[in-house]
A and B are shown apart, each in its own frame.
Chain A
Amino acid sequence: MAKPSWITWPVSTEADGNAAAPLKRQILISITPPDGTVKGTHSIIAVWTPKYGTNKQYTAITFKVDCQVASFTKPSSAPTSPTFTLAYSIFDKPLEINVTSLGYT
């Protein structure tokens, strides 16, 4: 599977980690997960091309993408019936709350 567009490599600001040209060692990747569709565990399979020795395909990094609600707008009084009172609870563990009925931005 090809590298998705939300993963950038190489990172343009990274300096060459090699002692000498012409190979250029750049091992930073930039990850910008766009939305919950990429939630899950991902592995980057890379090919290492050394100056000496044979090429090596290996797992360069494994990372996990997750989602969190950063903010939402508390609804004002319901414009129409039914009206309800909104309460917030803080849990010490992740909890999925169905907020489909809430208006948010």
Chain B
Amino acid sequence: MTLTNTPTVPKNSAFLGGTSSSFAPVDANDKVSFTITVVDPCKTTTVNAIVITGAGSAGSYTISVTDGNTGTFTFVRPTTTVETDTGIASVCGATSYTIHKDNAGGTFTFNAAWAVITGPDSTGKYTLTIDTTKDLTLIANEASMTYNLFIKAKLNDYTADTREVYTSVAVVINSATCDCSPLAWDDPSSAGVDQTATSIMVSATATEKTMAMPAANTSAKNTQPAFEKCYLNGGSCSLDGQVSSI
């Protein structure tokens, strides 16, 4: 018996037959063996690069955030070539995202989670959030600092096949402008206020006393980069003030 055709089954399609021959096996000599190899195309598929919205063009994504502020940028799940060929969404399964310092999977080891990926939301969007308040060491007295990050998109079911893609994002932290308004004022210490140890006697002669002033509190330097900026390079905020009423 000879098969007249070599059947070919298109990807993700059913075998619909075609030209064929039929026969009725009579004995063991008529046995025909078939080897069917099913190849999972996702094992070799290409994961397309992430497309970030509002951060420049592909290949040179740049996110600029002023120190003390937060920037957010969105992207959607990257497709795969299998997905494109078949038109079946997520045919290769779920994708996960991580942030790295290089495109070799190096761990993102900064002081705090100032760059995080969340999502997806109800529309399938993921958000890359750059929150400079999470790490006040990102920039000191420089005009700007650039951190090159890589977002890795990985097919969870094909980790062993290294089905992943890195997308480079340059995060530019721009210096904040000095803002002294967070300067706080605390109550004076009781020792500086209480003058009752020695009484003032009823007299026609005036007694002068010095009122205490509130104590300046600059702890906001630890949380507000724009305030901290004022104190870099020996700078400071004026402690001027006046007692406006008593």
Q: Which residues of A come within 8 Å of B, CB atoms?
A: 3, 8-11, 18-20, 23-36, 38-39, 41, 44-56, 58-68
Residue contact A23 to B246, C-beta cutoff 8 Å: no
- The contact of A25 among B180, B205, B242, by CB within 8 Å, is B242
Q: Which residue of A lies closest to B243 (CB)?
A: A46
Binds A, one of B48-56, B134-142, B188-196: B188-196
The minimal Cβ–Cβ distance linking A41 to chain B, given in whole angstroms, is 6
Would A18 and B210 be within 8 Å (CB), given that A50-B183, A68-B201 are in contact? no
Q: Residue B208 at the A interface, CB < 8 A?
A: yes
- The contact of B243 among A26, A36, A67, by CB within 8 Å, is A26
User: Which 5 pairs, one residue from A and one from B, show the smallest C-beta to C-beta distance?
Assistant: A50-B241, A66-B199, A60-B211, A52-B180, A53-B183
Those of B199-246 within 8 Å (CB) of chain A: 199-214, 216, 237-246
CA distance A28 to B208 in the complex (A): 6
- The contact of A20 among B188, B199, B216, B238, by CB within 8 Å, is B238
Can you name 15 A-B pairs with beta carbons within 8 Å?
Answer: A23-B241, A27-B212, A27-B213, A28-B208, A31-B209, A33-B200, A49-B241, A50-B185, A51-B238, A53-B182, A56-B187, A58-B214, A59-B187, A63-B195, A64-B196
Residue contact A23 to B240, C-beta cutoff 8 Å: yes
CA distance A65 to B209 in the complex (A): 13
CA distance A41 to B201 in the complex (A): 12
Q: Which residue of B lies closest to A41 (CB)?
A: B196
Residue contact A29 to B183, C-beta cutoff 8 Å: no
Most buried by A among B196, B203, B239, B246: B246
The minimal Cβ–Cβ distance linking B4 to chain A, given in whole angstroms, is 92
Would A18 and B211 be within 8 Å (CB), given that A32-B204, A33-B201, A66-B201 are in contact? no
Residue contact B202 to A39, C-beta cutoff 8 Å: yes
The minimal Cβ–Cβ distance linking B190 to chain A, given in whole angstroms, is 9
- Which chain B positions have C-beta within 8 A of A44? 211, 246
- Which chain B positions have C-beta within 8 A of A54? 184-185
Q: Which residues of B come within 8 Å of A, CB atoms?
A: 180-185, 187-188, 193-196, 199-214, 216, 237-246
Q: Which residue of B lies closest to A2 (CB)?
A: B246
Residue contact A63 to B196, C-beta cutoff 8 Å: yes
The minimal Cβ–Cβ distance linking B203 to chain A, given in whole angstroms, is 7
CA distance A31 to B198 in the complex (A): 14
- Which chain A positions have C-beta within 8 A of B242? 18, 23-26, 48-49
Q: Which residue of B lies closest to A25 (CB)?
A: B242
Would A47 and B243 be within 8 Å (CB), given that A53-B181, A66-B200 are in contact? yes
Q: Which residue of A lies closest to B182 (CB)?
A: A53
The minimal Cβ–Cβ distance linking A6 to chain B, given in whole angstroms, is 9
CA distance A65 to B213 in the complex (A): 22
- Which chain B positions have C-beta within 8 A of A60? 188, 193, 211-213, 243, 246
Residue contact B185 to A61, C-beta cutoff 8 Å: no
- Which chain B positions have C-beta within 8 A of A64? 195-196, 199-200
CA distance A20 to B214 in the complex (A): 18
Residue contact A33 to B208, C-beta cutoff 8 Å: no
Residue contact B201 to A63, C-beta cutoff 8 Å: no
Most buried by A among B182, B202, B203: B202
- Which chain B positions have C-beta within 8 A of A48? 185, 213-214, 241-244
